[in-house]
């Protein structure tokens, strides 16, 4: 019996980092820093698909099977992500217009924050012999505003907006046949695996 030796020496490189975390879909990237709201909103506005395509009734069809339904929902959410964001924002605006007390409470909170910001620039706010930072002042405004928001029914409006958004977006994503819209490189609609 011959003695065989194998050389296993060498330098190994660590594996490359995956493009996204395991279990998190690629269309839902996790942010590493807080984006600028104006910049983020303008980017979302640029990614909005045409609204006529979004509501085109000829593309609404029932999915033939449950696996196709789940794929359809995921692809629709990825494709129409910016449209769904503006549907959500539209429902928020509708809720604020139909609930003027909530609008008054929000305006009051912003006004209090504005006045305290101006006062903070002139002289610091002192509470229990301790100077408060501007972030602490804003936190105090939010804390004092919570009972007012509760009294005007903001919690009910918030849950209504979340529930209505979930219902409308899921309904659209379930019935909209995205395969009729997205065409492959050869010009034919993409076919899903059975």
15 pLDDT tier (thresholds 50, 70, 90): low
Tokens of 77: 């959410």
Task: Please choose, from the candidates 97, 7, 85, 1, the residue with its C-alpha nearest in 3D space to the C-alpha of residue 47.
Answer: 85
Is the pLDDT reported for residue 184 higher than 60? Answer: no
Distance of CA 124 to the CA centre of its chain: 36
Both tokens of 23, joined, read: 């279990």
Please check the confidence at residue 98 and state whether its pLDDT lies above 80.
yes
pTM: 0.64
- Which pLDDT score, from 0 to 100, does residue 192 have? 47
Residues 6 or more apart whose Cβ sits within 8 Å of residue 49? 79, 80, 82, 83
**Average per-residue pLDDT for the chain:** 81
CB count in 10 Å sphere of residue 37: 8
Q: Lowest-confidence range among 64-68, 92-96, 148-152, 182-186?
A: 182-186
User: For residue range 157-176, what is the model confidence (pLDDT) as tens digits?
Assistant: 999 999 999 999 999 999 99
Q: What are the pLDDT digits (tens) for 1-10?
A: 667 777 777 7
pLDDT digits (tens, 9 = 90+) for 18-63: 555 555 555 556 666 677 778 877 888 888 888 888 888 888 888 8
pLDDT at 147: 93
């Amino acid at each position: 019996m011959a003695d065989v030796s194998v050389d296993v020496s060498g330098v190994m490189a660590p594996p490359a980092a995956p493009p996204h975390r395991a279990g998190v879909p690629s269309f839902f990237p996790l942010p590493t820093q807080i984006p600028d709201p104006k910049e983020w909103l303008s980017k979302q506005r640029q990614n909005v698909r045409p609204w006529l395509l979004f509501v085109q009734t000829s593309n609404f069809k029932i999915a033939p099977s449950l696996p196709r339904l789940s794929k359809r929902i995921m692809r629709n959410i990825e494709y129409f992500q910016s449209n769904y964001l503006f549907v959500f924002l539209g429902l928020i605006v509708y809720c604020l217009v139909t609930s003027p007390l909530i609008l008054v409470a929000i305006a009051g909170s912003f006004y209090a924050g504005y006045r305290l910001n101006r006062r903070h620039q002139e002289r610091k706010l002192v509470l229990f012999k301790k100077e408060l930072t501007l972030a602490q002042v804003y936190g105090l405004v939010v804390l004092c505003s919570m009972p007012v928001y509760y009294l005007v029914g903001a919690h009910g409006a918030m849950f209504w907006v979340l529930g209505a958004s979930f219902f409308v977006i899921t309904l659209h994503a379930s019935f909209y046949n995205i395969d009729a819209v997205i065409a492959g490189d050869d010009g034919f609609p993409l076919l899903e695996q059975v």
